């Protein structure tokens, strides 16, 4: 039996559907858990708030594709007003616009989650079979030489000069054409996003996907969920229609992504019984540094990050606990002209001077491994939409300054003639004295311009409802048939790009849901 995708135009009337499992969200978590449940023989319905944009609708236009694929068109920020929240809003979720970096979860992180947060059943032995299967299905492999653009070569060679360790970044792609449009969706289907892997596989196994449907209200009684009320969104206006979809299921899986899952459960009134709901939230703040080179870099072609510096992945602390350095991955950056221009902190003719030399602009970016004692939280606006409050605590600020300094050093080692930090005020680096100035950079609103591509937490996993939201079977504490399967269950950030961790965890979740249904 083959399933299908229903879109807003297919749902002209309110309707009700029945299924074994209703999955809310279709990104790395939702699509993977759905595919696995279909493999187990269950009937699955997936609800996706965003639209269905098949590959044939991709045009590589920066603004057109940002509007189709990015929630709030990449114009929503955290409460600091400067950290841009990046997430997907389409069938396939953020995987359709991600870079395809696909790391296994570092063992030290799995041990931290086990030892400090009480996570069980998600050790190396539990996840390895899933990763073996996923890596084969998604063609995950270290980037080959031909996929090193000039920026990647510079980062590889410059970091070697500085004696910083690094490695080829594992890529979920096959037969890549080097277009440089990973963030606009891959027209060649070379990037193995959920849209071209687990989604069609789930459909082939009978899954029904309802795009343009916003999950609203869970009906909860006697400790279990019986149904879900959802609203059909009118995609052309991005406004709710009067049409409703009611889903009755034996199990419900929230996989709306790190920015949305906790907020959905909060809107359903679960915060009083789950005090950690929305807490322990991280998003890998990602400062960028640009360099103007004497040679062509052409940042916008080939793959974004073929090579990454992992030398500083784990933060180092002194014996008395003071921060020393590290706590981030450092990567080559890739930006198309609009976002590149937006990240250059200059005005008028000086900004234009850089943009006229765009072919010679190189850029780096780093993901801060959110400090576990300085995490943020999700809250709700009056209209029920979510907001992200992130404190940028003292250690996080030190990490950011260290990451910026290391990026500046790297650009210097690579031969950049001029160096700028992406932010509000123009921070240029020409001398050692300028390097020292980084130590006093004010990490506050509008000071730095950062992306936040990797949300984690909000529905953290752990042994009980006082300190966590879901147990180690992904089940929400106190509710027999409500599960969470996305990055929101991570107790902390992953310290590497999280897609493979999300998918591995979703394999574990699917097995527990299958056990419950059986």
Spatial neighbors of 364 by CB under 8 A, at least 6 apart, are: 151, 155, 288, 289, 291, 330, 331, 332, 333, 407, 410, 411
Q: Which of 345, 453, 457, 462 binds another protein (CB under 8 A)?
A: 345
Per-residue binding string, another protein, 46-75, x by CB under 8 A, is -----x-x--xxxxxxxxx--xx---xx-x
Q: Tokens in use for 104?
A: 């296994």
The whole-angstrom separation of Cα 223 and Cα 259 is 25
Contact pick of 30, 93, 180, 287 for another protein (by CB under 8 A): 180
**Spatial separation of the C-alpha atoms in residues 515 and 37, rounded to whole Å:** 11
Residue window 229-268: x/- pattern of binding to another protein, with contact defined by CB under 8 A:
------xxxx------------------------------
- Do the Cβ atoms of 239 and 132 come closer than 8 Å? no
Query: Which window, 13-21, 223-231, 353-361, 428-436, contacts another protein (CB under 8 A)?
Result: 353-361
Closer to another protein by Cβ: residue 451 or 504? 451
Of 2, 81, 242, 322, the residue at the interface with another protein (CB under 8 A) is: 81
The alpha-carbon radius of gyration of the chain (Å, integer) is 22
What 3-state DSSP class applies to 323? strand
Task: Specify which residues 389 forms β-bridges with.
Answer: 377
Residue-by-residue DSSP string for 155-192: HHHHHHHTT--EEEPEEEBSS----S-GGG--TTS-B-
Instruction: Please report whether residue 285 would count as binding another protein according to CB under 8 A.
Output: no
Among 20, 43, 48, 80, binds another protein (CB under 8 A): 80
Q: What 3 state SS string does 476-502 have?
A: ECCCCCEEECCHHHCCCCCCCCCHHHH
C-alpha closest to that of 489 among 285, 199, 282, 230: 282
Q: 456-488 in b/e burial notation, b at 16+ Cβ within 10 A?
A: bbbbbbbeebebbbbbbbbbbbebebbbbbbbb
The CB density around residue 55, as the number of other CB atoms within 10 Å, is: 14
Q: Specify the stretch interacting with another protein by CB under 8 A; choose among 16-24, 129-137, 365-373, 441-449.
A: 441-449
Instruction: Please say which residue, 13 or 239, places its beta carbon nearer to another protein.
Output: 239
**Comparison of 170 and 345: residue with beta carbon closer to another protein:** 345
Q: Please say which residue, 9 or 136, places its beta carbon nearer to another protein.
A: 9
- Least distance to another protein from the beta carbon of 350, Å? 9
- The residue among 114 and 267 lying less far from another protein, judged by its C-beta, is 267
Does residue 267 contact residue 383 with C-beta atoms inside 8 Å? Answer: no
How many Å from the N-terminal Cα to the C-terminal Cα in the chain? Answer: 21
In this structure, what token pair is assigned to residue 474? 């992904």
Member of 4, 161, 316, 356 binding another protein (CB under 8 A): 356
Per CB under 8 A, does 355 bind another protein? yes
Single out the segment in contact with another protein by CB under 8 A; choices: 127-135, 193-201, 325-333, 443-451.
Answer: 443-451
Contacts of 439 (CB under 8 A, 6+ apart): 401, 405
Q: Which is nearer to another protein, 144 or 350 (CB)?
A: 350
Please report the DSSP string for 256-276 in residue order.
Answer: S-TTTHHHHHHHTT-TTT-TT
Residue numbers 139-178 binding another protein by CB under 8 A = 177
How many whole angstroms separate alpha carbon 213 and alpha carbon 465?
30
**What is the smallest separation between the CB atom of 289 and another protein, expressed in angstroms?**
17
State which of residues 295, 425, 436, 466 lies at the interface with another protein (CB under 8 A). 425
Nearer to another protein, 77 or 276 (CB): 77
Q: Print the binding letters for residues 378-407 with another protein: x by CB under 8 A, - otherwise.
A: ---x-x-x-x--------------------
Options 124, 342, 417, 466; binder of another protein; rule CB under 8 A: 342
Task: Tell me how many residues contact another protein (CB under 8 A).
Answer: 66
Q: Which residues bind another protein (CB under 8 A)?
A: 51, 53, 56-64, 67-68, 72-73, 75-77, 79-82, 177, 179-181, 184, 187, 235-238, 300-301, 336-345, 347-349, 351-352, 355-356, 358-359, 381, 383, 385, 387, 423-425, 442, 444-447, 449
């Amino acid at each position: 039996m083959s399933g299908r995708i229903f879109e807003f135009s297919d749902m002209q009337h309110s309707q009700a559907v029945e299924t074994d499992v209703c999955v809310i969200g279709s990104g790395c978590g939702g699509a993977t858990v759905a595919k696995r449940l279909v493999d187990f023989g269950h009937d699955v319905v997936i609800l996706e708030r965003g639209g269905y944009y098949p590959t044939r609708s991709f045009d590589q236009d920066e603004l057109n594709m940002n509007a189709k694929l990015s929630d709030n068109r990449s114009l929503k920020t955290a409460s600091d007003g400067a950290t841009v929240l990046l997430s997907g809003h389409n069938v396939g979720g953020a995987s359709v616009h991600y870079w395809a970096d696909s790391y296994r979860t570092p063992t030290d992180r799995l041990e931290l989650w086990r030892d400090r947060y009480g996570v069980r059943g998600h050790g190396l032995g539990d996840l390895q079979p899933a990763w073996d299967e996923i890596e084969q299905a998604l063609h995950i492999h270290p980037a080959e030489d031909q996929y090193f653009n000039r920026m990647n070569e510079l980062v590889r060679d410059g970091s070697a000069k500085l004696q910083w360790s690094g490695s080829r970044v594992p890529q979920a792609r096959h037969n890549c054409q080097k277009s440089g449009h990973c963030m606009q969706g891959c027209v060649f289907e070379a990037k193995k996003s959920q849209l071209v892997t687990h989604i069609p596989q789930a459909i082939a196994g009978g899954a029904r996907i309802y795009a343009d449907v916003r999950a609203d209200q869970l009906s909860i009684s006697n400790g279990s969920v019986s149904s879900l009320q959802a609203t059909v969104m009118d995609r052309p206006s991005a406004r709710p229609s009067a049409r409703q979809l009611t889903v009755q299921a034996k199990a419900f899986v929230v996989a709306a992504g790190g920015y949305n899952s906790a907020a959905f459960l909060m809107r359903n009134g679960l915060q009083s019984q789950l005090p950690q709901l929305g807490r322990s939230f991280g998003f890998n703040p990602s400062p960028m540094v640009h360099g103007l080179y004497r040679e062509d870099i052409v940042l916008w072609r080939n793959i974004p990050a073929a090579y990454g510096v992992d030398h500083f992945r784990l933060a180092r602390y002194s014996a008395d606990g003071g921060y020393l350095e590290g706590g981030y991955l450092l990567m080559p950056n890739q930006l198309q002209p609009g976002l590149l221009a937006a990240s250059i902190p200059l005005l008028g003719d000086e900004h234009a001077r850089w943009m006229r030399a765009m072919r010679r602009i190189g850029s780096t970016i780093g993901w801060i491994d959110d400090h576990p004692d300085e995490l943020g939280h999700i809250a709700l606006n009056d209209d029920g939409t979510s907001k992200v409050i992130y404190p940028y605590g003292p250690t996080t600020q030190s990490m950011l300054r260290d990451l910026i300094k290391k990026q500046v050093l790297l650009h210097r080692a690579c031969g950049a003639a001029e160096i700028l930090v992406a932010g509000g005020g123009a921070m240029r680096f020409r001398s050692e004295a300028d390097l020292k100035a980084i130590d006093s950079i004010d990490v506050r609103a509008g000071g730095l311009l950062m992306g936040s591509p990797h949300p984690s937490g909000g529905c953290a996993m752990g042994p009980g409802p006082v300190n966590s939201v879901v147990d180690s079977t992904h089940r929400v504490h106190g509710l027999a048939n409500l599960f969470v399967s996305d990055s929101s269950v991570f107790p902390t950030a992953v310290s590497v790009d999280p897609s493979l961790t999300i998918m591995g965890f979703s394999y574990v979740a699917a097995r527990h849901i299958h056990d419950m249904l059986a």
